[in-house]
Amino acid sequence: MGERLLSIEGLRVGFDTDDGRVQSVRGVDLTIDRGEVVAVVGESGSGKSVTALAVLGLHPKQRTVIEGCIRWHDEDLLAASEDRLREVRGGEIAMVFQDPLTALNPVHTVGRQIIEMVRSHRGGSKQAARDRAIEMLGLVGIPQPTRRVDMYPHEFSGGMRQRAMIAMALSCEPQLVIADEPTTALDVTVQAQVLELLVSSTEQLGSAVLLITHDLGVVAGLADRVSVMYAGRVVERGTIDEVFAAPSHPYTQGLLRSLPRVDADGSDELIPIGGQPPSMLAPPSGCAFHPRCGFAAAESGCADRLPELDADTHGVACWRRAEVAARNAEVGT
Amino acid sequence: MTIDSMSLGTDLPDADATLAQAGVGRSLAQDAWRRFRRNRLAMVGLGIVVFLILVAVIGPFLVQDPTSYSKRVFLEPPTNQHPFGVDRRGGDVLANVVHGIRLSLFIGLLATILETVIGVVVGAVAGWFGRWTDAFIMRFVDIMLGIPYILLAYAFITVLGKGVAAVVLTLALTAWLQTARTVRAGFLQARELEYVEAARALGVPSRRIMWRHILPNVFQPVVVLIAVGVGSAILAEAALSFLGVGVQFPDPSLGRMIAEFSSDFPRAPYLLVFPGAAIMLSVLGFLLVGDGLRDALDVKDV
């Protein structure tokens, strides 16, 4: 493992609303080392995007309460000044957004937007920044980058737009790229390509990737490590092999069972996870997953006590881990 | 289909042709101009505006001096020498109308420029800073808008005095309210846009975001407001002058001429036609252009 880039410890993010505090993130630990690809998986409202935005200090100051620690190298980003944050954003940590159609400004050409970003961080002449933009567009596999650089976002297809967005994010050689559901807005046919491109181009530049997604399937071949989030907490984390070979939290298992597999013989039924995601205004007591969990049992205290991750390597936050593992061995999954 | 295969990374041999065909690289302005050109009414409006500008620029050299009065003819119908007739002072109506158009355009443009600057600055401040700054400014705007326009203008001009400068100031000080509201709404909307968030996430400085990403967002409605604004300013100037508080004799004003000619209506009804038509044409021209711009720029909320 390389040098530690980012470490998030005990992060809690809450938003004050008229109905009370919505505690979106309730104690998240996450680390990313240099050059690593780390995936955060969870359904809508699990707090994964909120975590990412907190890293860059992008939550509005009013009505947002952030606790815990976000350490970037040796620096506490939560205590950083707005000027310092601006340097970090894009320069050291860049972000790729979900929908490139709305994340690119329609009134400026793609090139102008990359140039703007390069010059915001590195200064230099317009021509140099333009050359850099063309180079980056070429790097992400956009044909005819010298012409494409002067085109508007609406003249790009969805996949091309996201490539341009990636080119923009990578143009200042950030050490970390946060990709928030980078393929959700794309056609299924181009999703895989864009993801592969994201990972290969960051590899080329030596950047680490924090990949945020609700789709466990997309992370399988790409990520080194994965953290599964539920109701604002990490419920399982480990290397990709550990989590896929032996999913040990009932929620992770549920996610995997609800995923269509190309390599299955077709007899496997997709099993949805029953129930509704919890309201973060008033999350369930104890383990937030217990109302939807097939393993929940009163004697284990699932409804009363909040489980913590039980190990540093393949950690699972579940009071019934032993029982879940026993069942796994029985069924042979 | 073509786009799909391109996004797959396959460089098509005829990609150049395809791109050219798709009108690639055409800017927003070019697009808007194409749409504007296809709008017949808008082009009529543009024709009127261009004609009026020509009249204002060249006209004064072709007509008589509006302040020289004939000692012999008064209230005369159109003749070869006086195509628009002669007024009760013995002045040539054509000369007065031409100079009136010139002054109207001048006042309309100047007032609108002033009004736009005030409106954009105030609206941007309200929309950018938000919170109590916004609440304070917008409540003030609401109160001002609650006062009937002509009453408000009357109040201003009473304080500012009569004459051209006072009219320009009055028009500007009463018209910026709508611009401020529009700009502020655009700012509020744009602040929530994902590309503004994305620009922030990629470390673009706030001031740049404001100028490059948010201001263009309000550019289109402001352009429409400017075109419509010149039309309304001309109309308002005419109204003030008609009421006797606007442009004063001897400055030529279409509104003042209408007031004067309407008292001569029983004896010389034809006189009213020309300044009336000039006002109508000016207002119509700018409103048509504004409407055309609204469609061409695809502005929905002005």
At A150 the pLDDT is: 92
- The residue written with tokens 């290397």 in the block is A239
* Tokens linked to B122: 């105030």
Which residue of B11, B25, B203 is in closest CB contact with A91?
A: B203
Residues of A in contact with B216 (CB under 8 A): 105, 107-108
Closest by alpha carbon to B92, among B113, B112, B63? B63
Mutation for testing the A interface, residue in B7, B18, B197 having most A CBs under 10 Å: B7
Q: With an 8 Å Cβ cutoff, are A56 and B201 in contact?
A: yes
Beta-bridge partner residues of A21: A16
Element (H, E) at A292: none
Backbone angles phi, psi at A220, to 5 degrees: -50, -50
**B48-73, pLDDT tens digit by residue?**
999 999 988 888 877 777 777 777 77
Residue burial B106-132, b: 16+ Cβ < 10 Å; e: rest = ebbbbbbebbbebbbebbbbbbbeeee
Q: With an 8 Å Cβ cutoff, are B9 and A141 in contact?
A: yes
Angle at B174 between CA B171 and CA B177, to 5 degrees: 130
Backbone angles phi, psi at B288, to 5 degrees: -65, -45
Q: With an 8 Å Cβ cutoff, are A86 and B203 in contact?
A: yes
Angle between helix A126-139 and A158-170 (nearest 10)? 130
Mean pLDDT to the nearest integer, B127-153 = 88
Query: Do A117 and B204 meet the contact criterion of CB atoms below 8 Å apart?
Result: yes
At B192 the pLDDT is: 81
Q: With an 8 Å Cβ cutoff, are B203 and A117 in contact?
A: yes
Which residue of B8, B19, B28 is in closest CB contact with A107?
A: B28
Lowest mean pLDDT among B14-28, B31-45, B182-196, B208-222: B14-28
* Tokens linked to A157: 């297809």
User: Cβ-count burial of B205 within 10 angstroms (0-12 exposed, 13-18 middle, 19+ buried)?
Assistant: middle
SS (H, E, C) B179-209: HHHHHHHHHHHHHCCHHHHHHHHCCCCHHHH
Angle between helix B131-146 and B93-129 (nearest 10)? 150
Say which residues have a Cβ less than 8 Å from residue A248's Cβ, sequence separation at least 6. Answer: A236, A314, A316, A318, A321, A324, A325, A328
One pLDDT digit (tens) per residue for chain A, 333 residues: 578 999 999 999 999 988 888 899 999 999 999 989 999 998 888 888 899 999 998 888 878 899 999 999 989 999 888 889 999 999 999 999 888 888 898 888 999 999 999 999 988 899 999 999 999 999 888 999 999 999 989 889 888 898 899 999 999 999 999 998 888 878 878 888 888 888 888 888 889 999 998 888 778 878 899 999 999 999 999 999 888 888 888 898 888 888 776 665 666 677 888 788 888 888 888 888 888 888 888 778 888 888 888 888 888 888 888 888 777 777 654
Q: With an 8 Å Cβ cutoff, are A143 and B9 in contact?
A: yes
SS (H, E, C) A189-202: HHHHHHHHHHHHHH
Q: State the residue range of the domain holding A290.
A: 248-331
Max mean pLDDT among A127-136, A297-306, B19-28, B256-265 falls in: A127-136
At A331 the pLDDT is: 64
Q: Is residue A96 part of a domain?
A: no
Question: For domain B28-296, which architecture applies?
Answer: Orthogonal Bundle (1.10)
Q: Where are the alpha helices (DSSP H) in chain B?
A: 2-7, 15-21, 28-38, 40-62, 93-129, 131-146, 149-160, 164-191, 194-201, 206-208, 215-242, 254-263, 273-296
At A37 the pLDDT is: 93
Q: With an 8 Å Cβ cutoff, are B203 and A159 in contact?
A: no
Closest by alpha carbon to B187, among B141, B219, B228, B145? B219
Measured in angstroms, the CA of A173 and the nearest CA of chain B are apart by 12
A196 touching chain B per CB within 8 A: no
Q: With an 8 Å Cβ cutoff, are B195 and A104 in contact?
A: yes
Q: Which residue has the higher pLDDT, B249 or B169?
A: B169
Mean pLDDT to the nearest integer, B206-231 = 86
**B109-122, pLDDT tens digit by residue?**
999 999 999 999 99
Q: With an 8 Å Cβ cutoff, are A190 and B213 in contact?
A: no
Measured in angstroms, the CA of A197 and the nearest CA of chain B are apart by 11
Mean pLDDT to the nearest integer, B76-94 = 77
Residue B21: band (very low, low, confident or very high) from pLDDT cuts 50, 70, 90 = very low
Q: With an 8 Å Cβ cutoff, are B6 and A89 in contact?
A: no
DSSP B147: S
DSSP B214: I
Residues of B in contact with A104 (CB under 8 A): 195, 198
At B14 the pLDDT is: 46
Is the per-residue pLDDT at B22 higher than 60? no
Residue pairs spanning A and B at CB distance below 8 A: 103
Residue burial B287-302, b: 16+ Cβ < 10 Å; e: rest = bbbbbbbbbbbebeeb
- The residue written with tokens 């850099």 in the block is A132
Residue burial A159-174, b: 16+ Cβ < 10 Å; e: rest = bbbbbbbbbbbbbbeb
Is the per-residue pLDDT at B302 higher than 70? no
ipTM, two decimals, is 0.80
Beta-bridge partner residues of A72: A6, A75
At B13 the pLDDT is: 43
SS3 A168: helix
Measured in angstroms, the CA of B15 and the nearest CA of chain A are apart by 9
Residues of B in contact with A163 (CB under 8 A): 7
Is the per-residue pLDDT at B179 higher than 70? yes
- The chain B residue lying nearest A86, using CA atoms, is B203
- The chain B residue lying nearest A173, using CA atoms, is B202
Query: Do A153 and A71 meet the contact criterion of CB atoms below 8 Å apart?
Result: no
At A55 the pLDDT is: 92
Mutation for testing the B interface, residue in A107, A188, A190 having most B CBs under 10 Å: A107
Rounded to whole angstroms, the Cα distance separating B111 from B286 reads 14
Measured in angstroms, the CA of B214 and the nearest CA of chain A are apart by 10
Which residue of B6, B205, B213 is in closest CB contact with A105?
A: B213
Rounded to whole angstroms, the Cα distance separating B99 from B262 reads 19
Query: Do B88 and B260 meet the contact criterion of CB atoms below 8 Å apart?
Result: yes
Which residue of B27, B28, B195 is in closest CB contact with A103?
A: B195
Backbone angles phi, psi at A204, to 5 degrees: -60, -35
Rounded to whole angstroms, the Cα distance separating A257 from B43 reads 63
Closest by alpha carbon to A39, among A215, A251, A248? A215
Q: Is residue A24 part of a domain?
A: no
- Per the structure, how many domains does chain A have? 1
Closest by alpha carbon to A291, among A273, A269, A275? A275
Rounded to whole angstroms, the Cα distance separating A322 from A317 reads 12
Mean pLDDT to the nearest integer, B217-246 = 88
Is the per-residue pLDDT at B150 higher than 80? yes
Q: With an 8 Å Cβ cutoff, are B203 and A89 in contact?
A: yes
Q: What is the pTM of this model?
A: 0.74
**B270-287, pLDDT tens digit by residue?**
888 888 889 999 999 999
The amino acid sitting at A73 is H
Query: Do A7 and A31 meet the contact criterion of CB atoms below 8 Å apart?
Result: yes
Q: With an 8 Å Cβ cutoff, are A143 and B25 in contact?
A: no
Closest by alpha carbon to A15, among A70, A62, A80, A78? A62
Query: Do A297 and A320 meet the contact criterion of CB atoms below 8 Å apart?
Result: yes
Query: Do B261 and B89 meet the contact criterion of CB atoms below 8 Å apart?
Result: no
Q: With an 8 Å Cβ cutoff, are B201 and A102 in contact?
A: no
Which residue of A143, A151, A152 is in closest CB contact with B11?
A: A143
Mutation for testing the B interface, residue in A105, A151, A176 having most B CBs under 10 Å: A105
At B78 the pLDDT is: 77
Residues of B in contact with A147 (CB under 8 A): 19, 24-25
Please give the mean pLDDT across all residues of chain B: 82
Query: Do B219 and B240 meet the contact criterion of CB atoms below 8 Å apart?
Result: no
At B282 the pLDDT is: 92
Q: With an 8 Å Cβ cutoff, are A160 and B3 in contact?
A: yes
Residues of A in contact with B28 (CB under 8 A): 107, 152
Question: First-to-last CA distance in chain A?
Answer: 30
Residue B191: band (very low, low, confident or very high) from pLDDT cuts 50, 70, 90 = confident
- The chain A residue lying nearest B11, using CA atoms, is A143
Rounded to whole angstroms, the Cα distance separating B230 from B239 reads 14
Which residue of B7, B213, B216 is in closest CB contact with A160?
A: B7
- The chain A residue lying nearest B22, using CA atoms, is A155
Q: With an 8 Å Cβ cutoff, are B212 and A116 in contact?
A: yes
Q: Is residue A279 part of a domain?
A: yes
Q: Is residue A291 part of a domain?
A: yes
